[in-house]
Every structure is written in C-alpha cells, then in structure tokens.
Amino acid sequence: MSDQFTDEVTALLDDFHIETPSWGYADTGTRFGKFFQDAAAIDINDKLTDAGEVHRVTGCCPAVAVHVLWDFDENTDPSQVSELARQCGVRIGSINPNVFQDLEYKLGSFGNPDEAVRNQALEHCVHSIQLGQQLQSREVTLWFADGTNYPGQDNIRERKKRFEHCLQMCHRELSEDQILLVEYKPFEPAFYQTDIADWGMAYLYAKKAGPQARVLVDTGHHYVAQNIEQIVAWLLDEEMLGGFHFNDRRYADDDLTLGSIDPYQIFRIFTEIHRYAFDHGGQYPDIAYMVDQSHNLKAKTEAMIQTAMVAQELYVKAALVDYAALSGHQQAGRIVDAERTLQDAFATDVRPGIAQWREQRGLHRDPLQAHRESGYTQTAASDRRKRRQEMGLTQAASYA
Ligand code: AFD
Ligand code: MN
Ligand code: MN
C-alpha cells in the first residue's frame, strides 16, 4: 500500500461508499431549456446499467437512489428492479418520493391549505415508504418544493403545523430498519418562503416526527456565506445528521459538481466527521453519503465518476489531519498551528495513494480513463438513439 496511507486510512477508504442518483443519468435541463444527450438513460434499466458502470470503475458506488415517480410506474415490479440492480452490480439505495410536480401540488403538498391535497401527498409518501420496505432500502429522503411566492399568501404557522402532522404520519409507517431523512433548502421553487428552509426547521420537524427521523444536508442548499461545517458539527453532536446530498453551488442551489467551486469547504465538512470519530474512540457516525446531481452539459456517467473521485479525494485528505495534534493546538490556543494542521492535510496530493488503493482492488488507477477506454458512452449513445427513434421520442438537440 502507498506509504501515504496508514492501514486506518485505507480501511476508511474501503468503507466510504457513495450512493449515486438514478436521476443523474437521465436527461435534464433548466427552465430555459434542455440539452439532450444520446447516451442519457431512457428508463430505470438504463439508469441502473449506468450506475453499475460507475461502480465498476470506481469501486465505491454500490447503491442507487431512486425517484419514485420517475423510476416506478404502476406496472413496475419492485422485485424486478431489485434483481436488475443486482445484475448490474449495485443495489437500490434511498427512496425519493415526489410531491412537487403534479398539478395538485401548485400550492404545496404537506403544506397545502387543502386537506385533500395533503392527504394525496401523504398517500404517495406512505406508498414510497412501503416501496422502500419491498426494496430493502433504509433511507426515505423527503424533499419538498413547498412554500409561498408572495407575502400574505398563506399562514406560515399553519403550514408548519400541517408539516408536523404529515411527517409524524409518515414516521408511523416506517419499519424498524428505515430512517426518514428531512432535507432543507433555502429557496426554489418557492421564492418568498420555503417551508423547510434551513437546518433548524429540518431538525425540529425530524425531532417531532419521531426517533427514526434525521436531517439531510444537501451541500448545495446553503446561502454563500453559510458555514456548512458548523451545521454538520451541530447535527453530529445532536446525533441528528442522517446524511448528505453532494453537489456544489456558486450562487445558490446550482447543483454543480461536488468540490468544483469550494473543495476546501467540503474538506472542512469531512474533518468534522473525522474529528467526531477521533473524539468518540474511532466510532464513525452512521450517515448516508449520497450524490444529488443531474448535470445539463457534462456527459452523465463521466460527471458521476468525477464526483465519486472528488468525494474520495476530499474524504481521504480530511482523514489525513493529525487530530491529536489539532486537539493539542486548539487546547493551547496555538491558532496558526491548528489551522496549518488542516491546511497541510488539504494540500496533500492523495491521488497517487488512491490510485494504488484502486490497483490493489483490481480497479484501473484512473476510473475516468477506464470508462473512456471501455467505449461505454458511445455504445450507450448508439443503442439509446436507436431505441428513442423506435419509441418515437424526439429530441430538440443531442450530443453524446
Ligand atoms: C432537487 C431538490 C433537492 C432534491 C433533489 C432530488 O433541490 O435537492 O433532493 O431534487 O429530488 O435537486
Ligand atoms: Mn438534494
Ligand atoms: Mn437540490
């Protein structure tokens, strides 16, 4: 093994699994338009195949998050999806209900003033929880587009009470193995007030929902000045950090590649997790590391491989911090030494060590190169182009 890594760091890398999202393999766009890709996944079979390819070359992405309305229709047999995932070398990870795109949800889902709409949303979330039980999935990830666009549109306290009730109803449906992850986002698509706008709201909702609810931190869902690692430290200390959705943002929730704008912030987030383990006798918190991206311009599987590689690098850099020395510097008020303990680790090029870790596990040293040499994207593009033509699916623009 590379002399860069102790056995402990190698073991940490072995245990660092990153879930990829099914929606990250399909075409997507902005409200200003979509740029289609021939190699983009058409259906859940393609998504699992793509996820299997990402795991094949990276060795660290064994699970796939699914989005219920985008991946399952009324005829989909969950056991067949499980089996297909297994054949692709992956398994189904978190379940993502969708209570934001149906027209009934115009004024919200759990926050809607109309009880019938709230019940419709609740019914879908309970169905998603039951789907998770059929798929032996642990996490049910709840993100809501709910909010209001204008001052006075609705009673903010009433909306809070509606959410508290519906989240408690969801929690009651969980099996003992499931956890409910409550995700927050400051704005979008609501532009005046979002019902779960920050970590405090998500924390309170999770606490009131029940003992199997936690907070999900989407790294893109923060105002530019926010100190995300402080939020992570608080949630860790309260044993309420359920997991992450990895991406990055320049101005707001831009869903950019993890670490593409501020890798040092992601590194600092990871140092809070490693420091937690250092302070707890090496016991790491049980949290879900999940990607949440669906890039418009980058090739889908390449973008996912890139994210997984960046996540590994930043996680390992943070593992290299000398937490005993850091603790001593902090205790003694040696500010520059404490800061340099972090900076030295962040400045370490861990890519050779990770490349060797891959080689030791029968993987190519560079997953992106392995993926490109396999011709996977070209094959997927020609196959899926043909299938789209047969299905009569037209595309405004397409490029691999
Ligand atoms: C959007 C939302 C949120 C959610 C994701 C998947 O902002 O991050 O987790 O879609 O549903 O990115
Ligand atoms: Mn998210
Ligand atoms: Mn998001």
Cα of 50 from ligand 1 centre, angstroms: 20
Nearest to 199 by CA among 182, 187, 212: 182
Residue ranges with CB less than 5 Å from ion ligand 3: 253
292 lines ligand 1 (CB under 6 A): yes
Q: Which atom of ligand 1 is nearest to the CA of 220?
A: 8
Cα of 220 from ligand 3 centre, angstroms: 7
pLDDT score recorded for residue 400: 33
Average pLDDT, integer, range 93-120: 98
Q: Which atom of ligand 1 is nearest to the CA of 23?
A: 6
Cα of 324 from ligand 1 centre, angstroms: 37
> Tokens 């303990």, residue?
341
Point out the ligand nearest to the CA of residue 245.
2
Distances (CA, A) of 141 to 25, 134, 178, 183, 269: 19, 16, 11, 7, 21
218 lines ligand 1 (CB under 6 A): yes
Cα of 186 from ligand 2 centre, angstroms: 12
Q: Which atom of ligand 1 is nearest to the CA of 100?
A: 11
Cα of 4 from ligand 1 centre, angstroms: 36
270-298: per-residue pLDDT in tens?
A: 999 999 999 999 999 999 999 999 999 99
pLDDT: which is higher, 26 or 4:
26
Separation of first and last alpha carbons in the chain = 37
137-163: per-residue pLDDT in tens?
A: 999 999 999 999 999 999 999 999 999
pLDDT score recorded for residue 3: 67
Cα of 97 from ligand 3 centre, angstroms: 14
Complete DSSP assignment for 67-84: EHHHH--TT--HHHHHHH
Cα of 185 from ligand 3 centre, angstroms: 7
Point out the ligand nearest to the CA of residue 291.
2
Q: Which of 28, 142, 218, 253 to mutate to test the pocket of ligand 1 (most atoms within 8 A of CB)?
A: 218
253 lines ligand 1 (CB under 6 A): yes
**Ligand 1: which residue has its CA nearest to atom 9?**
143
Q: Which alpha helices (H) appear in 238-375, and where do they start and end?
A: 263-279, 300-319, 323-332, 335-346, 351-360, 367-374
Q: Which atom of ligand 1 is nearest to the CA of 96?
A: 11
Distances (CA, A) of 66 to 57, 213, 251, 255: 21, 19, 27, 18
Point out the ligand nearest to the CA of residue 294.
1
Q: Which of 188, 245, 256 to mutate to test the pocket of ligand 1 (most atoms within 8 A of CB)?
A: 245
pLDDT: which is higher, 23 or 32:
23
- What span, in angstroms and rounded, lies between the C-alpha atoms of 175 and 173? 7
Cα of 184 from ligand 2 centre, angstroms: 8
**Ligand 1: which residue has its CA nearest to atom 6?**
292
The structural domains of the chain, ordered by start, are 7-398 (3.20.20.150)
159 lines ligand 1 (CB under 6 A): no
36-74: per-residue pLDDT in tens?
A: 999 999 999 999 999 999 999 999 999 999 999 999 988
| Mean pLDDT of the chain, nearest integer | 96
235-267: per-residue pLDDT in tens?
A: 999 999 999 999 999 999 889 999 999 999 999
Q: In the numeric block, which tokens belong to residue 5?
A: 């890594």
Identity at 216, one-letter amino acid code: L
pLDDT higher than threshold 90 for residue 395: no
Q: Could you tell me what percent of the chain has a pLDDT over 90? A: 94
185 lines ligand 1 (CB under 6 A): yes
pTM of the model: 0.97
- The model's confidence at residue 397, banded by pLDDT at 50, 70 and 90, is very low
